[in-house]
Amino acid sequence: MIEPEDPLRREYRVLSLDGGGIRGVFPAAILARLEEHLDRPIGRYFDLIVGTSTGGIIALGLALGLSAREILAFYEERGPEIFDQHRGPVANWIRQRYRGLANWLGYKYSSRSLNKALRDILGDRRLGESLTRVVIPSWHPVNEHVYLYKTAHHPRFESDYRQPAIDAAMATAAAPTFLSPYLTSDDIELVDGGVWANNPIGVAAVEAVGVLGWPGESLKILSIGTTTDVKAPSRFGGKLFMAPNVTRLFMAGQSHSAMGAARIITGDPHTRKAIWRIDHVVPTGRYTLDNVARIAEMKSRAFAEAREQLPELRRHFFHSPAERFVPVHALPPLKNAA
């Protein structure tokens, strides 16, 4: 059985990780640099981890006991393969032009490379092997409703914890137009959770208070973005000039809405500081979802940010490991296990 939550406990620490494709290098590098100053993997310092899309991959890795350094290495080593940019500059240029046409006719990339890379790092582990409570947003395009993968941190969560972790990772990362919808091991077709919760801080706050019953005034949330494009509004009107910015506008609106909800729930900043948001504003197009050419630059930017944030974050999040997570439901052995 789950250990009863103490409502009088002083604080609950939550990690929220945005989506953003290869830009996941930014949060992974921040966490990796912070982790160098800690006694154990950084995921062990949080009571709840929530991540969408690329943030969901990081969240799953941390929850399953991987170090942030291992996850950063995954992005650096497998990113070019996942986004098919590992054949040299000329071949990459040709394939980039081909993908521009393919993107109009189907999906920009094959899911096979991502699936293989994730299997190599996650293996056959199931969600129920997580050492930390985790929530991974996805979207069910047929029924048009949200789909959340969750560990067994509540009695009514009776199925997800049995599922392969790779199902949650592939589902939350199946970005429309980039990758095809993912068919899970239990035959459910899902797409990227970023279509409704690219910044999952609102999901995190609601889960903490509404599901786990933690007092909003006891939450501390570390929210890490994947860099944000900034672009002045066009002086020209009409669909032609608005079209390229529609996705960016929707993402920005969702993020602001999620941050607002989390602030209401936690009382930040009016009654106390409860949310630490780390993100960088960069010129539009500087870091795209699939351009691996600037991984080193993103990592350098993240390392510098981590150095600046370390003293305050250590005081609020890394003074001691989180309490041990004991799931409500025990994970059954695999059917084909000896």
Nearest alpha-carbon partner for 126 in 329, 338, 288: 329
The Cα 229–Cα 247 span in angstroms is 11
DSSP letters, 220-285, are EEEEE-S-EEE-PPPSS-SHHHHGGGHHHHHHHHHHHHHHHHHHHHHTTTTTS--EEEE--EEETT
Nearest alpha-carbon partner for 186 in 149, 221, 218: 149
Residues 6+ positions from 217 with CB-CB distance below 8 Å = 266, 267, 271, 272, 274
Catalytic residue among 16, 18, 53, 223: 53
Known catalytic residue at 53: yes
Catalytic residue among 18, 192, 268, 290: 192
Q: Residue 332: what are its φ and ψ, rounded to 5°?
A: -75, 155
Known catalytic residue at 160: no
The rounded Cα 232 to chain-centroid distance in angstroms is 28
Six-digit token pair at 83? Answer: 């986004």
Catalytic positions, written as ranges: 53, 192
